[in-house]
Structure 1
Amino acid sequence: MNYEVLETAPDTTAYPKADGKGGYKLTDLPKVPKVSHIVGPSAIMLGAALGSGETMFWPAIIAQDGWALYWAFWVGVLTQFFINTELQRWAMATGESIFRGFDRLHGLWPWFFLFAGFVQLGWPGWAASGGKVFAAWTGLIPLTDWWMVGLATMVVIWLSYQAGPVVYNIIEKAQLVMMVLAIVGAVVLVFLVGSIGELANLPAGAVSFGTLPADVEIATFLGGLAYAGAGGYTNLSQGVWAREKGFGMGIYQGRVKNPLRGDSEPETVHDGYSFEPTETNLKRWKAWWKVTQQEHFLTFVVGLLVIATGAMTITAQYVPSGQTVTGNAVSMWLNIVIPQLGSANAFLMYMVLFIALFSTQYAIVEAFTRNTVDIIYQVYGREHGMNVSRVFLGALTVFVLWGMAIIGANAVTNITTPWIFLVLGAAMAGVMMWPYNALTIILNTTRLPEHTQPGWVRVIAMWWATGFFGYFSILLIGDLLSSSFGLSVFSTTVDIVSSGVGGYVLWLIALAVQVYTMYRSGQAKLETNDTVENAEEAAGFLA
């Protein structure tokens, strides 16, 4: 399809707002495929989550603080279901990534998230922790030489991108295989090690809303909330992967190719698309939302609940009561849990952990590279004639080399505990989700027309997500300022009222963000009501 010859969407309430940053070309919304044909983006997202919250943070939290915190896990998972599907809404409606949408709100936002994303994902803790697991599993190298496996992991990841002409397809297939292995392995382990009885404690913990132990480590807990899913910068990839997979209007965009493979022509990622609100297109939009929600729920949500809960039952049974383990979840598995399992079960446990950590590092490299390239290309590269595929290869190579440099520095600095990499990244992930939750619902209500806007249930869900991550982000910021920098005036407490004077200022900032988010998005919903004829034809369950 020749983008340039298509008619430009008029500047009316029936089409997305351009904000002076490129218009939208008109074409019909494509036909809706079966759910089985669009499985992919959520499998990659699940892979990104396996080695963080699902097998590390949450099993450690439950082992140390008990099932009373399980409520925060499942609430976090369902919250991320709404966040992730809202992140892909912009791609489905316009064919653009969420970063292009943020750029339409303000040009600084994409660069802010690029910086925050590097702080979160620039430390290869998953490859490092995977190296430690591999060393303990095989005995081929001393445990202190885990960094050698970490380096090999990064090399294997880079080489895997050369396996085919379309970059996205390679990652999708690899993650689907690892996802299936991890789910089957987790289920089998629960029965083999006899931890299934722990599920009897789950119902009470699932409804213990608001329970927070006085001594809970806020950084680890916020990391757990962020990683009750993929978390942070990785979540923002959902919209980019949805475009690459061809969700909605994303099917008309070019895909990133491997420039080292000379068997395919490069494709172009254009500005946005839009569709006329005809009866056919409105019905297709409703159907698209149905299948994409099913894809995300059945793959991402169900997969997370099965794997993470299974891992929690094992640590809850085998970690002694009262033992502190959230400081290093990798050591918890290697030094406390696995030695009690017996050789055959231990072998399977090692395998599941290594797959989880490898799949996460794989997805992290993919997410950081793809997001970063999208930001650079959308904001700067397209206007300057950059080849998006070559930019991708360059960014991939630089990021892999950076990760190898960090891991290799172990040989000089003798760092032996890679867990700190994960805690640092996880805390940033949680803090980052606060502003982009607010921006996403503001974008989707103020820039999209009535028939592609989120319904009120989703608007309220995103208000909740903004407040949820805002609350725990303020707790973390206050904890860092008071504990790490000695600024006790900024101390923040769970009950809010016992916070310091500076802590009250932080809470007022959170309140201001929440009120502004609710006002802007709520006002936009009310203003666009009944502005598109038959818009209700596009409304569906949780759409």
Structure 2
Amino acid sequence: MTDDPDGAPGDALEEAPDDASDEAPGVDPSSAADRTEAAPTGGDDVYASDVEGRQYRGTWYLPLDYESLDEAPESDEYPDRGDGGAFRLADLPRVPKVSHVVGPSAIMLGASLGSGETLFWPALTAQYGWGVYWAFLVGVLTQFVVNTELQRWTLATGESVFRAFARLHDGWPWLFLVGGLLSLGWPGWAAGAAQVATTVLGLQGPVAVAGVAVAPWKLLAVALMVVVWLSYQVSSVMYNVVEAFQIGLLFVAVLGALALAFVTGSVTELANLDAVVSEFGRLPPGIDIALFLGGLAFAGAGGYLNLSQSLWMREKGYGMGNYQGRVRNPLRGDEPEPIQRDGFTFRPTETNLERWRGWWRVVQLEHLLTFVVGLLVGATLLMTVAARYTSGSQTDAIRMWLFDVAPQLGAVGGALVVLVLFVALFTTEYAIVESFVRNSADAVFEAYGREAGWDLSTVFWRLLTVFCLWGIVIILGFTAPFEGQGPFFFLVVGAALSGLIMWPYTALTLVMNTSRLPEHLQPGWPRVVAMWWASGFYGYFSVLLVGRTLADLGVAGALTSATVLGSGPVGYLLWAAFVVVQAYAVARSVGAKRAAADTVPTAAASRGPFDD
């Protein structure tokens, strides 16, 4: 690495061939650091050239001699190390264009296709009308703030959010690992995609397998899980195949949704969006809280899935993540790349702070233009179809599309429904397997595996295999008392549990980004307030769901009322816990922001129009 504090590894990377491979285009990771060391400096100090920026279109890893780097001192200018070792000092890489780094948010959008975009919100709109659309808008915009705050730590240090949580307490990664298994361990999207295909093909009768009668949708769902596992063996870098696969499926699903809305003429339903204003903040009478919380969680990706933003951006090479390794396929014989436990940070020089401002703008624009716009367009168009053809429907979302909508649309419209539904469900299952395995591998590795001498790539591959096998077992062995519920039951259970875990990690991320990051890397006050809102938003509906679920299970006095007043004794205790958590998050973040104020003289240079 250069000794110039205003320079960065890669400052002089001016020529690279354009051939694509599993590595970053034109970059040999084994020699990237040496080539950078030898190159003369020059060019723009803040923004990457097109040649340099194109390296991010694959995944870009620039290895540094970690042990030779200086340790960041324990001062106000650097992140608080907490329960962990010191960060190593390196310079923030130059800033690429948004078009060069599209990827993480596209995968996140793929995870949203078969949940909120295709199932939950079209079903909610069909049942309750456009009066619930306000909650979708609020959910999407809230997730935008939460997701980008989850990216902040990784952009600044190269560490995953799970390593950041472990710096607060070793128990946090384990807690979210359990929450992830409970919420995503049900392969409802693969089951749903299989149900769509077998229904359309008329494969309804049981099939004898080894003398046992098995529903056709179960066999196809198992096949889809096998396809997911096999796809990971295509590339030496696990992330690359996921990004390419998801972007390809996204084009099919989004274009299919656009075609469906215009072929059916349902776009005229957009005239009813004025109900958003008149019904804002109101819950329709008798709405299923589990379904509604699932919709809020999946107004986007939701739950455990959102935590993957941190890991995907590290794999892509965003910011300081450029110096961390990637998860490689151990079956291909590639050497593992190191994920440094204590990460990196940069000196708050003028150039580094300008780069930080540029990177933060790029990160937010990539998420806004890909994830937010994609959701608002795709989901809204599908809601118009559901609202026009199934107003007042009480059936689950999959049956609604197959048996209520498709038969009314003729051959072309019906085919588009099947195409969009199948691709969306399978895309989401693929993203869920990817997200759960990547998150869980990192959580296990940081909480235990690193000290035990494990390799992250091997942990990833083994978890991938186990999780796919687990999904197959669940699909084949899911019996009474829930057999009659169908695949959509899996989806509601997973969505509601996803909503529940969003509350603690939103509050935790707020505390982490205000109390552990220095002044120039902290969120601004408007973002802090937005995170207060997000924590309260998910916490409120989580308490409603927990209380009503406990009441349904026979726990006396557990019922929670939407107005708080009228709750049972146990319900009031749940509301009290909500107030305590929320008050702690607010007080801790306010204290941290005040304590950090005016501690870094150059902090103002990092602020831009996108920082708050």
* TM-score, shorter chain, exceeding 0.5: yes
Asked whether 1:482 is paired with 2:551, we answer yes
Q: Identity percentage over the alignment?
A: 55
- Kindly provide the CA deviation profile for residues 365-421 of structure 1, in whole angstroms up to 9, marking residues without a partner as x: 000000011011122222222111111110100000000111112589993501111
- Which residue is equivalent to 1:120? 183
Amino acid at match of 2:280: F
- Which residue is equivalent to 1:350? 418
1:206: Cα distance to partner?
5.2
- Which residue is equivalent to 2:74? 11
Asked whether 1:35 is paired with 2:93, we answer no
Asked whether 1:167 is paired with 2:238, we answer yes
Flag structure 2 segments of 5+ consecutive residues without an equivalent.
Answer: 1-63, 207-214
1:542: Cα distance to partner?
3.5
1:57: Cα distance to partner?
0.6
- Kindly provide the CA deviation profile for residues 132-185 of structure 1, in whole angstroms up to 9, marking residues without a partner as x: 011123335659421111001100000000111110011001111111111111
Asked whether 1:22 is paired with 2:90, we answer no
- Which residue is equivalent to 2:502? 433
Q: 1:66 aligns with which of 109, 129, 134?
A: 129
Asked whether 1:340 is paired with 2:403, we answer no
Distance 1:187 1:456 in 2: 38
Asked whether 1:459 is paired with 2:528, we answer yes
- Which residue is equivalent to 1:449? 518
Distance 2:423 2:236 in 1: 25
Structure-to-structure mapping, 1:77-226, within 5 angstroms: 77-139=140-202, 142=205, 144-205=215-276, 208-226=279-297
Mapped contact 1:457–1:542 kept (Cα < 8 A): no
- Which residue is equivalent to 2:445? 377
Structure-to-structure mapping, 1:171-320, within 5 angstroms: 171-205=242-276, 208-262=279-333, 264-271=334-341, 272-320=343-391
Mapped contact 1:455–1:542 kept (Cα < 8 A): no
- Kindly provide the CA deviation profile for residues 455-505 of structure 1, in whole angstroms up to 9, marking residues without a partner as x: 11110110000000011001101110112x223412111111121222111
Amino acid at match of 2:397: A
Secondary structure of the corresponding residue to residue 515 of structure 1 = helix
Secondary structure of the corresponding residue to residue 495 of structure 2 = helix
- Kindly provide the CA deviation profile for residues 313-353 of structure 1, in whole angstroms up to 9, marking residues without a partner as x: 111011143x313xx21111111111111111111110111
206-215 or 179-188, larger mean C-alpha shift:
206-215
Closer/same/farther in 2, CA of residues 142 and 294 from structure 1, 3 Å limit:
farther
Flag structure 1 segments of 5+ consecutive residues without an equivalent.
Answer: none
Closer/same/farther in 2, CA of residues 465 and 412 from structure 1, 3 Å limit:
closer
Closer/same/farther in 2, CA of residues 467 and 20 from structure 1, 3 Å limit:
closer
Amino acid at match of 2:496: A
Mapped contact 1:137–1:347 kept (Cα < 8 A): no
Distance 1:411 1:490 in 2: 29
Amino acid at match of 1:248: G
Distance 1:23 1:70 in 2: 47
Mapped contact 2:83–2:169 kept (Cα < 8 A): no
Distance 2:344 2:238 in 1: 23
- Which residue is equivalent to 1:516? 584
Distance 2:129 2:600 in 1: 51
Coordinate RMSD, CA, aligned: 1.4
Mapped contact 1:71–1:207 kept (Cα < 8 A): no
Secondary structure of the corresponding residue to residue 564 of structure 2 = coil
Q: Which has the higher contact order (CA 8 A, sep 6+)?
A: 1
Mapped contact 2:83–2:168 kept (Cα < 8 A): no
Distance 1:349 1:363 in 2: 21
Mapped contact 2:174–2:447 kept (Cα < 8 A): no
1:74: Cα distance to partner?
0.6
Amino acid at match of 1:116: G
- Which residue is equivalent to 2:46? none
Secondary structure of the corresponding residue to residue 370 of structure 2 = helix
Mapped contact 2:112–2:428 kept (Cα < 8 A): yes
Amino acid at match of 2:600: V
TM-score by length of 1: 0.97
1:208: Cα distance to partner?
2.5
- Kindly provide the CA deviation profile for residues 245-273 of structure 1, in whole angstroms up to 9, marking residues without a partner as x: 111100100000011112x3210100210
Mapped contact 2:559–2:570 kept (Cα < 8 A): yes
Bigger-Rg structure (1/2): 2
- Kindly provide the CA deviation profile for residues 176-214 of structure 1, in whole angstroms up to 9, marking residues without a partner as x: 111111111111110101111110011322562211012
Amino acid at match of 1:168: Y
Amino acid at match of 2:366: E
Secondary structure of the corresponding residue to residue 79 of structure 1 = helix
Mapped contact 1:470–1:510 kept (Cα < 8 A): yes
Mapped contact 2:293–2:495 kept (Cα < 8 A): yes
1:113: Cα distance to partner?
0.3
Distance 2:469 2:91 in 1: 43
Amino acid at match of 1:378: E
Mapped contact 1:76–1:225 kept (Cα < 8 A): yes
Distance 2:569 2:390 in 1: 40
Greater share of helix: 1
1:301: Cα distance to partner?
0.3
Secondary structure of the corresponding residue to residue 490 of structure 1 = coil
198-207 or 351-360, larger mean C-alpha shift:
198-207
Amino acid at match of 1:464: W
Distance 2:258 2:576 in 1: 45
Secondary structure of the corresponding residue to residue 557 of structure 2 = helix
Distance 1:25 1:362 in 2: 35
Distance 2:117 2:255 in 1: 14
Amino acid at match of 2:70: E
Distance 2:180 2:245 in 1: 23
TM-score by length of 2: 0.86
